[in-house]
Amino acid sequence: FPKDNGLLMEKLNNAERNYLSQEKLKTIFDTPFEDFSGSIILESRILEFLSYWIHYLLSDEKTFESKKAFEEKIKLAKDFVDTNAFRELAIKEISRYCGLNNCDLKKGFKDYTQLPIRQYIIKTRMEAARQMLLETEKSVGEIGDSIGYCNRGHFSQLYQRYFGKLPSEERL
């Protein structure tokens, strides 16, 4: 721990303003623990909270990450997804890019966009596909390939689920 007790006290005083710390603590109290699996989840959330605190207390940082800084990281993640939506994206890759752990990224992204990351990627791809279908002469297969779907059947199925009609019907 920091040898400077003044720094330690300053860090502890800043704790109540820490957005991520409050969120992690809230997940602990929201965890049901009636059965064995619930107790494992509870234990993992407590360990995550303790790990977060120990990292903070051992670091040279004087303040926790603010809600604004957290939101900036989520915006960075959204921009990264928007730029790379047409290729295979792993949550871990997005998480590393924006500097958040997977759980915080998933929760923050859903709060920001109203969609889980995977659903947001599908939405982005489907909207781009529709625009290409309406504005270009590319075949359905070419459009599927260009937005990240090598399997034309899978692309058509997703398109139909999203828009209620097959991509081949879009141009009629």
C-beta separation of 112 from 67 below 8 A? no
1 pLDDT higher than 60: no
C-beta separation of 70 from 108 below 8 A? yes
Q: How many CB atoms lie within 10 A of CB 70?
A: 18
- Per-residue pLDDT band for 43 (boundaries 50, 70, 90) equals confident
pLDDT tens per residue, range 83-105: 999 999 999 999 989 888 888 89
Helical pair 67-84 and 19-29, crossing angle rounded to 10 deg? 90
Q: Residue 24 and residue 65: Cα distance in Å, rounded?
A: 13
Can you tell me the mean pLDDT for 43-55?
Answer: 80
